[in-house]
């Protein structure tokens, strides 16, 4: 009987959460609720209203979402965001992985190249954009370099031409992102057991076969992180576009994020702007969750 009671007491003792631990969980949750969940709920409520930021919001139900179906700028922004996701996301993953493979081996001076590639990450995107803006000017470095090499016919108002604006904006964003992705892949590559490569070499595997059958599968965990980072960064890409083109000329480099900002804070249609924010959230959440679910299912 005494043994039983002691065991029960021990079990009760094990499950009892000390109040301090509870506080460390509940208090941040409360702060998070006020800081994140509450504004998010308010944002969703705002998306159901017509609000100019000054008067009281007018409830319009799903009117803002309905308007999106007929809004050609929304369609442009959505397509540009998908294009941005593919180009910016795809290229930064590929080039980041390429840079990591190139710079993974400890050689003399490799640290310098790693630092040089990572350097743009340190600068703010707005500062980066301002430097690139100067380069894209009609008499800027890029056009002058083209002239120097006798390619004057390719001169362009890169940011003011609707055919080139979006691509011109992607370049500085990529320039910055590659270093970041490279660091993630470098960490992943360092985590691969060298024994696997040695075994493969003994079996006579070529470099491509080693990459295909060891490196790629071993990087699966890192890929999930990189994909999440890329999707989130793509959907929240705003600063570089805003600093360079503000989504223009005439919406040709408009992303959902810039359209949301200009609708909400320039045209003062905060209800419609909030509806766009909800769409961005749903897209980011949807893409990441569906990928993670698939990734975990494969892992099982």
- Who's near 194: CB < 8 A, 6+ residues apart? none
Report the site for other proteins in 11-30 (rule: CB under 8 A): 20, 23, 27-28, 30
Of these, 44, 246, 281, 291, which contacts other proteins (CB under 8 A)? Answer: 246
Task: Rank residues 265 and 296 by Cβ distance to other proteins and give the closer one.
Answer: 265
List the x/- string, 128-147, binding to other proteins by CB under 8 A: -----x---xx---------
Task: Rank residues 31 and 94 by Cβ distance to other proteins and give the closer one.
Answer: 31
**Cα–Cα distances in angstroms (integers) from residue 283 to residues 75, 85, 233, 295, in the given order:** 14, 12, 12, 18
- Asked if residue 98 binds other proteins (CB under 8 A), the reply is no
DSSP letter assigned to residue 298: H
- Who's near 61: CB < 8 A, 6+ residues apart? 48
Of these, 262, 273, 275, 283, which contacts other proteins (CB under 8 A)? Answer: 262
- CB contact at 8 A, 172 and 282: no
* Helix, strand, coil share (%) of the chain residues, nearest 5: 75, 0, 25
Q: Name the token pair of 156.
A: 């362009």
Rounded CA separation 143/151 (Å): 9
Of these, 54, 195, 202, 299, which contacts other proteins (CB under 8 A)? Answer: 54
Report the site for other proteins in 155-214 (rule: CB under 8 A): 157, 159-162
Q: Name the token pair of 101.
A: 């493979």
- Asked if residue 46 binds other proteins (CB under 8 A), the reply is yes
- Asked if residue 79 binds other proteins (CB under 8 A), the reply is no
Which residues contact other proteins (rule: CB under 8 A)? 20, 23, 27-28, 30-31, 34-35, 38-39, 42, 45-46, 49-57, 133, 137-138, 157, 159-162, 246, 248-251, 262, 265-269
């Amino acid at each position: 009987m005494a043994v039983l009671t002691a065991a029960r007491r021990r079990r009760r003792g094990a499950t009892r959460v000390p109040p301090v631990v509870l506080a460390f969980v509940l208090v941040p949750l409360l702060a998070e609720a006020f800081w994140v969940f509450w504004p998010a709920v308010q944002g969703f409520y705002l998306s159901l209203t017509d609000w100019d930021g000054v008067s009281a919001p007018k409830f319009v139900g799903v009117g803002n979402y309905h308007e999106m179906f007929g809004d050609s700028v929304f369609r442009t922004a959505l397509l540009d965001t998908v294009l941005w996701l593919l180009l910016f996301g795809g290229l930064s993953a590929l080039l980041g992985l390429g840079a990591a493979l190139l710079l993974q081996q400890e050689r003399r001076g490799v640290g310098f190249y790693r630092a040089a590639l990572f350097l743009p990450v340190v600068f703010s995107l707005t500062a980066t954009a301002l430097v690139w803006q100067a380069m894209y000017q009609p008499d800027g470095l890029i056009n002058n370099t083209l002239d120097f090499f006798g390619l004057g016919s390719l001169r362009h108002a890169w940011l003011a031409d609707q055919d080139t604006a979006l691509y011109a904006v992607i370049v500085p964003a990529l320039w910055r992102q590659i270093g970041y992705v490279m660091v993630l892949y470098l960490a992943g590559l360092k985590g691969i057991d060298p024994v696997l490569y040695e075994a493969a070499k003994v079996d006579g595997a070529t470099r491509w076969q080693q990459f295909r059958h060891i490196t790629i599968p071993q990087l699966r965990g890192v890929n999930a992180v990189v994909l999440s980072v890329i999707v989130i960064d793509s959907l929240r890409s705003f600063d570089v576009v805003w600093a360079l083109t503000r989504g223009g000329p005439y919406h040709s480099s408009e992303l959902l994020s810039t359209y949301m900002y200009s609708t909400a804070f320039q045209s003062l249609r905060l209800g419609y702007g909030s509806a766009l924010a909800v769409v961005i959230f749903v897209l980011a959440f949807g893409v990441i969750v569906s990928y993670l679910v698939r990734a975990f299912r494969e892992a099982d």
